[in-house]
Amino acid sequence: MRRTPAELVGARPEPGHTIDFDGRPVPALPGQSIAAALWAEGILAWRTTRVNGRPRGAFCGIGACYDCLATVNGIASQRTCLLPAEPGTTVTTQEGHGRADLAV
């Protein structure tokens, strides 16, 4: 059995919660970003690109690359590597520019 990051740092997290990713509950720990909660579940893609419809997820992890954009609580193009996963946060896979409802 391999060691985990949590074991390495002796983590004893406060009680976790769930966020909603495309209608599916995903566990999150207090203080984790949305991107981190998704990675912990083995989810690496939560956006499809505007031009070729290719899957994307977190790339730079520090807010510089904008590859980790998703629709969060109904707001499109949010950087999930910067936003904390709060209890009840709703994350929706962003297709294209995420503003199809505006018909632009």
Q: Look at the alpha carbons of 88, 89, 95, 100 in this order and tell me if their dihedral is positive or negative.
A: positive
Burial of 93 (0-12, 13-18, 19+ CB in 10 A): middle
| Residue 90 is a binding residue for another protein (CB under 8 A) | no
| 19, 26, 35, 91: residue in contact with another protein (rule CB under 8 A) | 35
| Residue 39 is a binding residue for another protein (CB under 8 A) | yes
**Minimum CB distance to another protein, residue 103 (Å):** 21
Please answer whether residues 80 and 34 qualify as being in contact, where contact means their C-beta atoms are separated by less than 8 angstroms.
yes
Binding site for another protein (CB under 8 A): 2-14, 29-33, 35-37, 39-40, 44-45, 49-52, 54-67, 69, 77-78, 81-84
